[in-house]
Amino acid sequence: MRNLNRFISLSLSVMLSLVARLLHLRTSSCQGSRRSMATIVSGNKTSKMVRERLRNEVEKMKSQFSGFRPSLVVLQVGDRDDSNLYISTKLKAAAEIGIDAKHVRLPNTASQDEVLQSIMSVNENLSVHGLIVQLPLDSVNPINTELITNAVSPEKDVDGLSCVNAGKLSRGDLKDCFIPCTPNGCMELIRQTGVSVAGKHAVVIGRSKIVGAPMHDLLLWNHATVTTCHSKTPDLPEQVSRADILVVGAGRAEMVRGEWVKDGAVVIDCGINHIPDETKASGKRVVGDVHYTSASQRAGFITPVPGGVGPMTVAMLMENTVQSAQRFLLKNQTRT
């Protein structure tokens, strides 16, 4: 009987601990479903703040150095509609900030040598601080885009796409390079959340030259532990579930599902995809690479699409141009 009592008491304690564990699990998942929706990180608002700050900085420069204006050249080859739209957005943003932006357009009959010559002449022009070549190039002639991108002087490469700038960024020389505009905008949005990057686990989906690869570098040199995922990653949901900070530049509509996202994560969506939507007059709507509705129920912070990363890109191009002008002034001050 004593043995039976001991057995019953032992069994009871085992069962009680199991029940306690189950209750704990239920409580956690209840907390999960009860938690509030993610805070929306607005690119519209943040880009406006950046542009206002830049306008003040340009004002200051102009008052300190009479007659001085930061100057940007946008070089276009051909006449693509989408390029025309992007360029007009850039020119408008520049004008508002007080940057002197010039649109140089070569005909679609331009040869590679003619494009290179245009670049060289802007490289040599001391009154220009930033030069971007609008991609893709729209020419009837074969033109090596890589060669064109790398012909831009690294000191004026405000798109940050040349090998030299990529090399500096990838090896941690962040103060001495131009950071590509989209990842730079993502970092600005992450800063807005107040979440510190150092020591966090960041996951980047995508490894493109303009988004994924430089994003990895930026997060790494801001001291996150960074995992880069891509089309060959076999366990994407598992990788994503470990991200305190998730940046997605995969180019696939709503690929990242809410269920994958870690509770409270910062989710930055660089995707711009058009999907069919019969409720819209145009028959389509814009979505990101993240399934917004489900992800915003798990994330702590999330960027919307549109109105998230998109508006930041142009703002950061302006930031790089102003920075280039400041470096120019500093160098010339040091010289005199």
**Active-site annotation holds for 331:** no
* 229 touches a copy of itself by CB under 8 A: yes
Q: Is residue 14 classed exposed, middle or buried when 0-12, 13-18 and 19+ CB atoms within 10 A define those classes?
A: exposed
Residue type, 327: R
Q: Which is nearer to a copy of itself, 83 or 228 (CB)?
A: 228
The reply on whether position 217 binds a copy of itself by CB under 8 A is yes
Looking at the DSSP bridge assignments, the partners of residue 302 are: 40, 267
Indicate the residue among 10 and 30 with the shorter CB distance to a copy of itself: 10
Q: Considering 60, 90, 168, 232, which one is annotated as catalytic?
A: 90
Total residues contacting a copy of itself (rule CB under 8 A)? 43
Nearest to residue 138, comparing CAs of 206, 68, 79?
79
Site for a copy of itself contains 266 (CB under 8 A):
no
C-alpha distance from residue 153 to each of 131, 165, 182 (Å): 8, 10, 20
| 226 makes contact with a copy of itself (CB under 8 A) | yes
Q: Which is nearer to a copy of itself, 234 or 276 (CB)?
A: 234
Going through 238-293 in order, the beta strands assigned E by DSSP cover: 245-248, 266-269, 273-276, 284-287
**Which of 199, 278, 281, 282 is the binder for a copy of itself (CB under 8 A)?**
199
Is 175 among the residues that bind a copy of itself (CB under 8 A)?
no
Q: Under a CB-based contact definition with an 8 Å cutoff, are residues 171 and 216 in contact?
A: no
**CA-based radius of gyration for the chain:** 25
Kindly tell me which of 18 and 37 has the beta carbon lying closer to a copy of itself.
Answer: 18
The nearest distance, CB 174 to a copy of itself, in angstroms, is 13
**In the complex, what is the shortest distance from the CB of residue 266 to a copy of itself, in angstroms, rounded to a whole number?**
17
- By CB under 8 A, name the one of 51, 156, 207, 262 that touches a copy of itself: 207
227 lies in the binding site for a copy of itself (CB under 8 A): yes
Amino acid at 206: G
294 touches 258 (CB < 8 A)? yes
Residue 335 in tokens: 């010289």
Stretch binding a copy of itself (CB under 8 A), from 67-75, 181-189, 209-217, 283-291 = 209-217
Active site residues: 90
